[in-house]
C-alpha cells in the first residue's frame, strides 16, 4: 500500500508566524543569576517577600536535576544561559487598545484579539513577551466584583487574597520548571470571582512571544469563591525562530465550595518553543475544575493539568487533544488526586501523531485507602498517521480502598490508506480527507468547546493537514 | 464510457488481462464472474486504487482519458462513482458532513455549498431510499449493518449524481427487503445520460435491476456478452457451461 509521505503533512503555521520589530525599555539580558532576579524585582517594584520568594525559588531550580530519567532528553537542549528572562516596554498594561503602542497593537490586531473581545469575551489580557500590553474587563463584569488583572497588580493591590493562595496549589519545588517560573515569573492573570457570581462570557488571556532567545514565564492565579462560576480561555503563538524559545508557566486554580472553573487552552506555539507548563486546580467541597487542553504547536510540550479534589463530592476533569506534527513531541496527560470521599474524576485524552511526530500520554490517578465512593474514568485514544509516528501511554493508577472504582480504556488507531482512498473516491482531496478523518477522531471532544474555539481548532487542524498536499 | 485492452497488476500478478468494454449513454451493463476473475479489481483500477498498476490500455470517460487523472478524487470529480463491496468506516465523521465535503469539493474556490438546499436535497434522497433522518448524524459506515452500508453507498451515489457508476457486489449481504430498496434506488438513478456497470456474483440482483447487456468475465477478460437471458443461462449451467461454450466456439 502506498504510504502517506512526510511531504503530505508539511505544516503551515502562517497565522502566528510573523514578527514586527519592537523597542524594549527593559531587558534583563541573557542568563539567569541573582542579578537577573534583582533586575526583575526592581523593574516590577516587587515587595520584599516576593524578592525573597524568587531567590529561594532560584536556589531550588539550580539544585533540582533535569527530569530526564523519565522525560525526553530533548530537555538537555535548553541552554539556560542563552535565554533572556525579562523583556518589556513597561509594566503597566493599558486599559484601551488606543493606548497600546502601535508596534505591539498591530501584532494583536493581526491575531484578531480586539475583534474577539468585542464579539464574545467578558475581558481580555494580552501579554507581549514578559508583560501584559493590554488588560481590560467589561464594565458589567467588573461591577459584579470580579477582579481580572495581571499577576503583579494582583499581588500589589489584592495581597489579602493573593498571598493566601499563591504557591499553595503548586509549591515552588513541585518540579524544576515550577521552580524556574517561581524565580522569574512575570505577567499572567490574577482573577477573583466573588461568591455566587456566574461570569456569563469567558475571560481570555493571549500570550505572545515576539523576541528571539526568550523565555516567557507567566504566572496565573484564579480564585473562584463559593458557588461562583468562571470560564477562562488562553491562546498562544510565537513566530518561528531558528533558536529555541522557552515558555514555562505556572497556573493555579482554586474552586471554593460549589464553585465551577473551566480552563480552556489552545496552544499553537511555533515549532521552536519548549512549552513546559505546570497547571493544577484545587477543588473544594462540591466544586468542579475542568481543564480543556489543546496542544497543537511547540517543539516539546510537557504538561499534565491536575485536579486535587480535597472536598467531598468534588469533581475533576481533563479533556485533552494533542497533535504532534513532524518533529514535535507532545508529552501530555493528567493528574487526578482524590483526597475526599465521593469525589469523581474523568480524563479523556486524544492524541494525533503525524510524520515523525510523537505523542506521549502520562496519567496519574490516586485514590487513598481511607476514602470511599470515589470514581475515576480514564480514556486515552491515539491516532497514528503513517508508520514513523510514535505513541506511548504511561498510566499510573493507584486505587486503594474497597469502595472506590476506576476504569481505564486505551486505544491506538490509524488512518488507513484504504480510508483515504474511499474518501478520495468521493471527490475529496487527500489533504481534505486527512483533515476530515482527524476532525472525526476528535469530534466528540470538540463538541464540548465553546463555539468560537471549536471553529478555531477545526481551522488549525485543517491547516496542519492540508499543508502542502500537492 | 469505453475500456480498451485494459491490463493491470498488483505486485507481479497480472489480474486484468485485456478488458474491452463499451457502455453507451443510458445503459446498464452487468459483469458476472467467479470469485477472483478480476471483476472487483476492475472497479478499483477505474477508481485509481494505489495498489494497482495499469500496464496497458486506456479508458475514455466521454472526452476524458481517465488515466490522465492520477488521483482518485480527480476521477471522482470527473464523474466516476464506485459503490464498494466493503465500504470503509470513517469514525467520527457524520454522513451529513461526509457527503457535504464531497459536494463542496466539486465547487470552485470561494464557492460555498448552500446548507438549506443541501439538507433539502439530502432528506429527499433519504426518503426515497427509506433511510431514517437520524442516519445523517451517524459516523460513515461505523457499526452499520450490511444493508445500511449498501443503502449509504446508493445515497452517496444519488447525491453526487455521477455520469458513470460502478456498483461492486451491491447485493452481497442484503436480505430480500433491503435488496428491493437498494435496487429501486439504483433503478431510479437510471437516466439517458448515466452509464452504469453492475458487478455481481449472482443472477439474483439482475431480477431487480434489469441490465441492457450482460458480460461474463473469466481470468481478467470479458469472454462472453449477451442480453439479460445470458445471466439466466449462467445461473442454470454455472461457470463450467461458460468454459464449455468458449471451448466449442474456439
For A361, the enclosing helix (H) or strand (E) is strand A358-367
Is B163 part of the contact surface with chain A (CB cutoff 8 Å)? Answer: no
Give a yes or no: residue B124 inside a domain: no
Give a yes or no: residue B167 inside a domain: yes
Give a yes or no: residue B105 inside a domain: no
What is the reported pLDDT for A155? 93
What's the pLDDT tens digit per position in A55-108? 999 999 999 999 999 999 999 999 999 999 999 987 788 888 988 888 888 888
pTM of the model: 0.84
Give a yes or no: residue B83 inside a domain: yes
Which chain B residues have a beta carbon less than 8 Å from that of A422? Answer: 84, 87-88, 90
Which chain A residues have a beta carbon less than 8 Å from that of B97? Answer: 436
Give percent of chain A with pLDDT exceeding 90.
Answer: 59
Task: Calculate the alpha carbon distances from B102 to A155, A335, A387, B117 in Å.
Answer: 55, 41, 27, 15
- For residue A11, name the pLDDT band (cuts at 50, 70, 90): very low
Whether A216 shows a pLDDT value over 90: the answer reads yes
Give a yes or no: residue A192 inside a domain: yes
> How many Cα atoms within 13 Å fall on the side-chain side of residue A378?
24
What is the reported pLDDT for B234? 86
Whether A392 shows a pLDDT value over 50: the answer reads yes
As a whole number of angstroms, the distance between CA A163 and CA A170 comes to 13
Query: Which range of residues forms the domain containing residue A331?
Result: 15-424
Give a yes or no: residue A200 inside a domain: yes
Nearest to A428 among B51, B73, B139 (CB): B73
Nearest to A432 among B48, B50, B105 (CB): B105
Which chain A residues have a beta carbon less than 8 Å from that of B93? Answer: 436-437, 439-440, 443
What is the reported pLDDT for B175? 85
What is the reported pLDDT for B250? 67
Query: Within 10 Å of residue B36's Cβ, how many Cβ atoms?
Result: 11
Give a yes or no: residue A452 inside a domain: no
- Bridge-based pairing of strands B221-226 and B213-218 is antiparallel
**CB distance B101–A437 less than 8 Å?**
no
Of the candidates A197, A251, A199, the one whose C-alpha atom is nearest the C-alpha of residue A221 is A251
Give a yes or no: residue A451 inside a domain: no
CA end-to-end distance (rounded Å), chain A:
19
Query: Which range of residues forms the domain containing residue B222?
Result: 2-91+162-249
- For residue A387, name the pLDDT band (cuts at 50, 70, 90): low
For A42, the enclosing helix (H) or strand (E) is helix A34-44
Per DSSP, the residues of B152-204 read: HHHHHHHHH--SEEEEESTTTT--HHHHHHHHHHHHHT--TT-EEEEEESSSG
Residue of B nearest to A445 (CA): B92
Tell me the average pLDDT across A303-308: 98
Of the candidates A174, A172, A168, A186, the one whose C-alpha atom is nearest the C-alpha of residue A58 is A172
Cell 469514525 sits on residue: B91
3-class DSSP state of A374: coil
What's the pLDDT tens digit per position in A231-252? 999 988 777 777 788 999 999 9
What is the reported pLDDT for B244? 84
- For residue A6, name the pLDDT band (cuts at 50, 70, 90): very low
Total number of domains constituting chain A: 1
Question: Which range among A193-197, A262-266, A387-391 shows the weakest confidence by mean pLDDT?
Answer: A387-391
Task: Calculate the alpha carbon distances from A419 to A58, A73, A317 in Å.
Answer: 52, 36, 33
**CB distance A436–B98 less than 8 Å?**
yes
Total number of domains constituting chain B: 1
Give a yes or no: residue A404 inside a domain: yes
Chain A residues with CB under 8 Å of a chain B CB are 1-2, 413, 416-419, 421-430, 432-433, 436-437, 439-444
What's the pLDDT tens digit per position in A103-162? 888 888 888 888 888 888 888 888 888 888 888 888 889 999 999 999 999 999 999 999
Give a yes or no: residue B146 inside a domain: no
Give a yes or no: residue A429 inside a domain: no
- For residue A466, name the pLDDT band (cuts at 50, 70, 90): low
CATH number of the domain bearing residue B242: 3.40.50.300
Query: Within 10 Å of residue A423's Cβ, how many Cβ atoms?
Result: 29
As a whole number of angstroms, the distance between CA B221 and CA B209 comes to 23
Per-residue tens of pLDDT for chain B, all 250 residues: 899 999 999 999 999 999 999 999 999 999 999 888 999 999 999 999 999 999 999 999 989 999 999 999 999 999 999 999 999 999 999 999 999 999 999 998 889 999 999 999 999 999 988 899 999 999 999 999 888 999 999 999 999 999 999 999 888 878 888 889 889 989 999 999 999 999 998 888 999 999 999 999 999 999 999 999 998 888 888 888 888 888 787 6
* Whether the Cβ atoms of residue A437 and residue A423 lie closer than 8 Å to each other: yes
Which chain A residues have a beta carbon less than 8 Å from that of B156? Answer: 426
Give a yes or no: residue A97 inside a domain: yes
* Whether the Cβ atoms of residue B41 and residue B55 lie closer than 8 Å to each other: no
Give a yes or no: residue B205 inside a domain: yes
* A364 to chain B, closest Cα gap in Å: 28
Amino acid at each position: 500500500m502506498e504510504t502517506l509521505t512526510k511531504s503530505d503533512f508539511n505544516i503551515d503555521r502562517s497565522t502566528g508566524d510573523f514578527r514586527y520589530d519592537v523597542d524594549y525599555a527593559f531587558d534583563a539580558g541573557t542568563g539567569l543569576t541573582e542579578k537577573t532576579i534583582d533586575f526583575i524585582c526592581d523593574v516590577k517594584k516587587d515587595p520584599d517577600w516576593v524578592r525573597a520568594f524568587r531567590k529561594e525559588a532560584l536556589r531550588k531550580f539550580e539544585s533540582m536535576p533535569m527530569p530526564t530519567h523519565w522525560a525526553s532528553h530533548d530537555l538537555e537542549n535548553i541552554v539556560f544561559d542563552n535565554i533572556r528572562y525579562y523583556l518589556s516596554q513597561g509594566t503597566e498594561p493599558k486599559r484601551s487598545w488606543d493606548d497600546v503602542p502601535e508596534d505591539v497593537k498591530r501584532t494583536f490586531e493581526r491575531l484578531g484579539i480586539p475583534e474577539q473581545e468585542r464579539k464574545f469575551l467578558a475581558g481580555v489580557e494580552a501579554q507581549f513577551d514578559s508583560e501584559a500590553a493590554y488588560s481590560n474587563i467589561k464594565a458589567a463584569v467588573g461591577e459584579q466584583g470580579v477582579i481580572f488583572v495581571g499577576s503583579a497588580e494582583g499581588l500589589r493591590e489584592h495581597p489579602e487574597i493573593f498571598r493566601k493562595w499563591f504557591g499553595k496549589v503548586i509549591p515552588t519545588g513541585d518540579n524544576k520548571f515550577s521552580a524556574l517560573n517561581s524565580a522569574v515569573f512575570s505577567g499572567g492573570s490574577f482573577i477573583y470571582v466573588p461568591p455566587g457570581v456566574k461570569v456569563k462570557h469567558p475571560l481570555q488571556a493571549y500570550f505572545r512571544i515576539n523576541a528571539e532567545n526568550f523565555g516567557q514565564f507567566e504566572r496565573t492565579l484564579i480564585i473562584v469563591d463559593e458557588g461562583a462560576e468562571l470560564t477562562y480561555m488562553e491562546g498562544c503563538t510565537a513566530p518561528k525562530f531558528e533558536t529555541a524559545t522557552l515558555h514555562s508557566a505556572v497556573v493555579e486554580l482554586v474552586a471554593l465550595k460549589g464553585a465551577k472553573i473551566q480552563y480552556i487552552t489552545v496552544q499553537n506555539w511555533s515549532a521552536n518553543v519548549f512549552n513546559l507548563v505546570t497547571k493544577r486546580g484545587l477543588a473544594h467541597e462540591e466544586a468542579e475544575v475542568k481543564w480543556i487542553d489543546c496542544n497543537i504547536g511547540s517543539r516539546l510540550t510537557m504538561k499534565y493539568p491536575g485536579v486535587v479534589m480535597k472536598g467531598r463530592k468534588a469533581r475533576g476533569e481533563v479533556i485533552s487533544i494533542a497533535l504532534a506534527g513532524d518533529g514535535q513531541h507532545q508529552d501530555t496527560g493528567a493528574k487526578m488526586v482524590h483526597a475526599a470521599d465521593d469525589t469523581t474524576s474523568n480524563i479523556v485524552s486524544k492524541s494525533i501523531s503525524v510524520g515523525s511526530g510523537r505523542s506521549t500520554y502520562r496519567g496519574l490517578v490516586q485514590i487513598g485507602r481511607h476514602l470511599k465512593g470515589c470514581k475515576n474514568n480514564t480514556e486515552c485514544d491515539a491516532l497514528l498517521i503513517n508508520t514513523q509516528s510514535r505513541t506511548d501511554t504511561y498510566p499510573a493508577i493507584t486505587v486503594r480502598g474497597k469502595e472506590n472504582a476506576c476504569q481505564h480504556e486505551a486505544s491506538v488507531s490509524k488512518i488507513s490508506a484504504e480510508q483515504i482512498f474511499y474518501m478520495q473516491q468521493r471527490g475529496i482531496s487527500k489533504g481534505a480527507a486527512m483533515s476530515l478523518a482527524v476532525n472525526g477522531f476528535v469530534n466528540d471532544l470538540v463538541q464540548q468547546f465553546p463555539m468560537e474555539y471549536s471553529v478555531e481548532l477545526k481551522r488549525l487542524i485543517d491547516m496542519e493537514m492540508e499543508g502542502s498536499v500537492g | 464510457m469505453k475500456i480498451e485492452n485494459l491490463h493491470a497488476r498488483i505486485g507481479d500478478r497480472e489480474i486484468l488481462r485485456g478488458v474491452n468494454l463499451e457502455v453507451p449513454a443510458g445503459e446498464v451493463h452487468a459483469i458476472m464472474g467467479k470469485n477472483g476473475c478480476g471483476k472487483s479489481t476492475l472497479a478499483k483500477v477505474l477508481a485509481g486504487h494505489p495498489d494497482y498498476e495499469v500496464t496497458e490500455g486506456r479508458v475514455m470517460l466521454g472526452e476524458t482519458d481517465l488515466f490522465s487523472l492520477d488521483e482518485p478524487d480527480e476521477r471522482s470529480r470527473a464523474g466516476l462513482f464506485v459503490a464498494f463491496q466493503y465500504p470503509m468506516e470513517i469514525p467520527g465523521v457524520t454522513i451529513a458532513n461526509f457527503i457535504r465535503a464531497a459536494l463542496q469539493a466539486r465547487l470552485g474556490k470561494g464557492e460555498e455549498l448552500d446548507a438549506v438546499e443541501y439538507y433539502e436535497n439530502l432528506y429527499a434522497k433519504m426518503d426515497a431510499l427509506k433511510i431514517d433522518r437520524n442516519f445523517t448524524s451517524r459516523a460513515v459506515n461505523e457499526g452499520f449493518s450490511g444493508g445500511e452500508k449498501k443503502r449509504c453507498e446508493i445515497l452517496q451515489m444519488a447525491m453526487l449524481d455521477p455520469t458513470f457508476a460502478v456498483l461492486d457486489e451491491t447485493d452481497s449481504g442484503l436480505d430480500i427487503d433491503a435488496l428491493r430498496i437498494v435496487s429501486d434506488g439504483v433503478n431510479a438513478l437510471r437516466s439517458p445520460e448515466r452509464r452504469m456497470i453492475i458487478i455481481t456474483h449472482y443472477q439474483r440482483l439482475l431480477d431487480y435491476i434489469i441490465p441492457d447487456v450482460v458480460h461474463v468475465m473469466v481470468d481478467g477478460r470479458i469472454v462472453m456478452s449477451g442480453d439479460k437471458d445470458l445471466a439466466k443461462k449462467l445461473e442454470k449451467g454455472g461457470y463450467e457451461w461458460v468454459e464449455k461454450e468458449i471451448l466449442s466456439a474456439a
